[in-house]
Amino acid sequence: MSLEQDTAEDYGQSFIDNVKEGRTVWGLWSEATGWTSIDSDQDPDIEVILFWSQRELAEKHAQDEWRDHSLIAIPFEEFVETTLVEMNEEGVLIGPDWDEDFIGLELTPSDLTARLTSESSESTEESYEEEED
């Protein structure tokens, strides 16, 4: 794996860890253009919608072409049960926690859902087991 791929994987795991803990996903939204997005590196005909696990990370991207976008907090359950389901139907990819140089993973919404829910359920199982002892 290249350094850029390692960095992207780290950002992806950081997104999952932070969202699991904070239970909120951050995005930039415009009535005129929708969510912040860029063309996929994998396929320029596919759109990558960007989301962040921390408000500060999203705010760093609210400049230049996205300066008129509004910062939106999405509760975890709504993100998994509604936002990612709709985006899966639209055939877009998700870019979790991309940095200012636009380095990050490109995940299908279903892949991100699986990662978020498996991480969440493992965490819940571990805390439940600890309580039983």
Confidence at residue 93, expressed as pLDDT on a 0 to 100 scale: 97
Kindly report the pTM of this predicted structure: 0.81
Give domain status of residue 130, yes or no: no
Confidence at residue 125, expressed as pLDDT on a 0 to 100 scale: 39
Confidence at residue 91, expressed as pLDDT on a 0 to 100 scale: 95
13 confidence band (pLDDT: 50, 70, 90): confident
Q: Report how far residue 38's alpha carbon sits from residue 49's, in angstroms, rounded to the nearest whole number.
A: 7
> Domain range spanning residue 117?
3-124
The tally of domains found in the chain comes to 1
Give domain status of residue 131, yes or no: no
Task: Give the three-state DSSP class for 98.
Answer: coil
Give domain status of residue 132, yes or no: no
Task: Tell me the Ramachandran region of residue 16: left when phi exceeds 0, alpha when psi lies from -120 to 50, beta otherwise.
Answer: alpha
CATH number of the domain encompassing residue 116: 3.40.1350.90
Give domain status of residue 133, yes or no: no
Q: Report how far residue 22's alpha carbon sits from residue 44's, in angstroms, rounded to the nearest whole number.
A: 32
Q: Tens digits of per-residue pLDDT, 59-101? A: 999 888 888 999 999 999 999 999 999 999 999 999 999 888 8
Q: Which residue has the higher pLDDT, 104 or 111?
A: 111
